[in-house]
Structure 1
Amino acid sequence: MKFDPSTLKFNEAGLIPAIAQDERSGEVLMMAWMTAEAVEKTLSSGRVTYWSRSRQSFWVKGESSGHVQELVDFRVDCDRDCLLVVVRQTGPACHTNRRSCFYTAVRDGREVELMAPEE
């Protein structure tokens, strides 16, 4: 069956959440938003393209930082309202220069930082 992006369920702003996962470790790296056009750009280029809500523009991951996400696999969840992009990550995924954006855990009611920024 051919993939039809129009079957995805975008929110009222025309966005769908996309979770990036490292292909080697399986670690969740980040979550960002995509528009239908970002989905198409990602699938056609192999470079993960998100929609920046703050800049109101496309954002090709790593375009300015060099921390590129090469698309390995593109998955749609069962409700068709969330995406999983399995990526080959170059450098840290988080804008804080950490491997993952999910570096803060809550344990026993306290926040614990799990990783430091990369040098």
Structure 2
Amino acid sequence: MSASDSETQQREQGAVFMPKFDSAGLVTAVAVDHQTGALLMLAHMDAEAIARTRETGFAHFHSRSRGRLWMKGESSGHVLKVIEIRVDCDQDALELRVEPAGPACHTMAPTCFFRRMTPEGTLERI
């Protein structure tokens, strides 16, 4: 077994947290309401965001548009208290099980996923 195969085996089957960051140093993260299971938002996390989330118990992300770390709700107060962090099979995506303190979306919708695509390709609110 090569070193690469061994690392893959450890990442996919082991008990060690080994996030597989993309070329920009990010992993995809989704926030899910711990009680309802509703998908609230999608964002990205770098190593610093993961560390701050684990330290504080509140969701932190890396803003690609701002190029910096930010805590969800830092200006609105609509923080996401992290109940549990789940890691996907190859550790390139995280699911944050959270308790939201208000709307998750900056538009004030409960979730960022408040529209669906119709068969015609237009968007409608749900």
- Same topology, TM > 0.5: yes
In the alignment, is the contact (CA less than 8 A) between 2:81 and 2:100 conserved in 1? yes
Structure 2 unmatched ranges of 5 or more: 1-13
Quote the offset at 1:63 in angstroms: 1.1
Post-superposition shift, 1:107? 2.4
Aligned residue in 2 for 1:95: 106
1:111 alignment counterpart? 123
1:79 aligned residue (65, 90, 111): 90
> Cα RMSD (Å) of the superposition?
1.3
- Overall identity of the aligned pairs, in %: 42
Q: TM-score, normalised by structure 1?
A: 0.89
Are residues 46 and 39 of structure 1, via their aligned partners in 2, closer, same or farther at CA, if it must alter by over 3 Å? same
Q: What is aligned with 1:10?
A: 21
Residue-pair matches, total:
112
AA in 1 matched with 2:20: K
Q: CA deviation at 1:68?
A: 0.8
* Equivalences for residues 22-33 of structure 1 within 5 A: 22-33=33-44
1:117 aligns with none
So what's the TM-score if we normalise by structure 2? Answer: 0.84
Task: Specify which structure has the higher proportion of helix.
Answer: 2
Q: How far does the alpha carbon of each residue in 1:30-74 deviate from its partner, in whole angstroms, 9 at most, with x for none? A: 000100111011011101100011111111011110101000000
> 2:92 & 2:34 partners in 1: Cα distance?
22
Where structure 1 has 5 or more consecutive residues not aligned to the other structure, the ranges are 115-119
